[in-house]
């Protein structure tokens, strides 16, 4: 049993992870959040809720005393200058935290995805932190895409909010980039990913810096074909890279990424840019992750995308 701290503990991926971590019954858990503890919440003997002052490094260092592993789920949208996460890293070093997982939980690179620029900055900040001497072991946990999103609008996990993507199984349609049929997308269920991260905490060896967790991997063409096997023929709209790079998204529809981290009034405004960025990023290989943790944790079992989605769409209109 070790002491685990989770920053950004009220986020939906953090909540999924906490459910898995709590089910192990093995750790003392500290939850750091900008929010007050929910009224009526029963924390239990192994959980401490701390209202974090992310602008106060001394308060953070005090909160992190005795912590072995710190995991951050603060989104770039809620920390635009990375002040909170940089202070968290500095506090972790000061408090003697052994391991840190930054707010990654997505792609292997951030090309064409400006909304992830903050993640790239933190990667460099961590590298610089250890430049002269290793003072903090860290791992970039990466998953590609959660396969749960392709079940939208139906919810297939307790906390993660399903949103529409350019592969719209519900309406039997997809937007694809010309020439990207062979581009790979790594897929994993939310539960399988969180389970692997929980097991990584128990791993006694040194964490790899790049920490891909790959449940499955399909090409764009294979993903569309899977959708058609499960849902019937798709209406495919193909776009050109030069149009997307010039800011032109010439399609009859756009996915609405109503993610909790995106203000509701921004969803419509961001739709074209996000679909363009995602299509170009997939083509560039950003959504294909490595499999370091699959190799380190060979007993970890992963649900295949087709198995998961076949069950998710069974009996759905």
Q: pTM to 2 decimals?
A: 0.94
Q: How far is Cα 123 from Cα 104, in angstroms, rounded to an integer?
A: 9
Enumerate residues 6+ apart whose C-beta is below 8 A from 76. Answer: 82, 103, 115, 116, 117, 118, 119
**Residue 182: half-sphere exposure toward Cβ, Cα within 13 Å:** 1
In the predicted model, is pLDDT for residue 258 greater than 90? Answer: no
The burial class, CB within 10 Å (0-12 / 13-18 / 19+), for 283 is buried
Query: 199 in a domain, yes or no?
Result: no
pLDDT, averaged across the chain: 94
What CATH number is associated with residue 46?
3.40.50.720
What pLDDT was estimated at residue 124? 98
Angle, to 10 degrees, between the axis of helix 190-202 and the axis of helix 12-24?
A: 50
What's the whole-number mean pLDDT along residues 220-226? Answer: 98
Query: 82 in a domain, yes or no?
Result: yes
* Range scoring the smallest mean pLDDT among 47-61, 124-138, 171-185, 192-206: 47-61
Asked if 133 and 149 sit in the same domain, the reply is no
Please check whether residue 165 is in contact with residue 199, taking contact to mean a CB–CB distance below 8 angstroms.
no
Asked if 96 and 161 sit in the same domain, the reply is no
What's the whole-number mean pLDDT along residues 233-255? Answer: 97
What pLDDT was estimated at residue 111? 95
What CATH number is associated with residue 181?
3.90.25
Query: 179 in a domain, yes or no?
Result: yes
Query: 295 in a domain, yes or no?
Result: no
The number of folded domains in the chain is: 2
Write out pLDDT tens, residues 34-75: 877 654 444 555 789 999 999 999 999 999 999 999 999 999
Write out pLDDT tens, residues 109-125: 999 999 999 999 999 99
Asked if 134 and 277 sit in the same domain, the reply is no
What's the whole-number mean pLDDT along residues 264-271? Answer: 76
The burial class, CB within 10 Å (0-12 / 13-18 / 19+), for 267 is middle
Asked if 114 and 230 sit in the same domain, the reply is no
Q: How far is Cα 44 from Cα 252, in angstroms, rounded to an integer?
A: 51
Query: 174 in a domain, yes or no?
Result: yes
**Cross-strand bridge partners of residue 239:** 177
What pLDDT was estimated at residue 35? 78
Asked if 78 and 153 sit in the same domain, the reply is no
Query: 279 in a domain, yes or no?
Result: yes
What pLDDT was estimated at residue 30? 95
Asked if 108 and 174 sit in the same domain, the reply is no
Residue with tokens 């946990």: 141
Asked if 171 and 27 sit in the same domain, the reply is no
Last residue of a domain, one of 100, 115, 138: 138
Asked if 49 and 124 sit in the same domain, the reply is yes
User: Domain residues for 167?
Assistant: 145-188+216-288+303-313
Asked if 113 and 174 sit in the same domain, the reply is no
In the predicted model, is pLDDT for residue 316 greater than 90? Answer: yes
Enumerate residues 6+ apart whose C-beta is below 8 A from 189. Answer: 146, 147, 148, 156, 157, 215, 302, 303, 308
What pLDDT was estimated at residue 39? 41
């Amino acid at each position: 049993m070790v002491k685990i701290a989770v920053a950004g503990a009220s986020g939906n991926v953090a909540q999924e992870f906490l459910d898995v971590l709590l089910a192990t019954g093995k750790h003392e858990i500290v939850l750091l959040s900008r929010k007050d503890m929910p009224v009526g919440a029963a924390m239990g003997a192994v959980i401490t809720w701390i209202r974090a002052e992310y602008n106060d490094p001394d308060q953070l260092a005090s909160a992190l005393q005795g912590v072995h592993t710190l995991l951050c789920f603060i989104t770039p949208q809620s920390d635009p200058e990375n002040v909170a996460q940089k202070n968290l890293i500095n506090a972790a070093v000061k408090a003697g935290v052994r391991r840190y997982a930054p707010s990654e939980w997505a792609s292997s690179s951030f090309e064409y995805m400006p909304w992830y620029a903050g993640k790239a900055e933190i990667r460099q900040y961590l590298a610089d932190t250890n430049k002269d001497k290793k003072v903090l072991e860290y791992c970039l946990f990466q998953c590609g895409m959660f396969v749960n999103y392709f079940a939208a609008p139906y919810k297939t996990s307790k906390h993660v909010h399903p949103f529409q993507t350019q592969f719209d199984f519900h309406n039997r349609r997809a937007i694809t980039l010309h020439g990207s049929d062979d581009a790979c997308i790594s897929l994993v269920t939310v539960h399988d990913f969180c389970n692997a991260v929980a097991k990584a905490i128990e791993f006694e060896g040194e964490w790899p810096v790049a920490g891909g967790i790959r449940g499955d991997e399909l090409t764009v063409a294979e993903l569309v074909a899977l959708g058609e096997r499960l849902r019937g023929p798709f209406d495919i709209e193909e776009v050109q890279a030069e149009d997307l790079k010039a800011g032109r998204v010439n399609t009859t529809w756009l996915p609405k990424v109503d993610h909790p981290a995106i203000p509701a009034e921004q969803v419509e405004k961001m739709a074209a840019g996000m679909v363009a960025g995602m299509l170009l990023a997939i083509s560039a290989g950003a959504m294909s992750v490595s499999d370091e943790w699959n190799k380190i944790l060979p007993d970890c079992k992963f649900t295949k995308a087709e198995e998961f989605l076949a069950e998710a769409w069974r009996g759905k209109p």
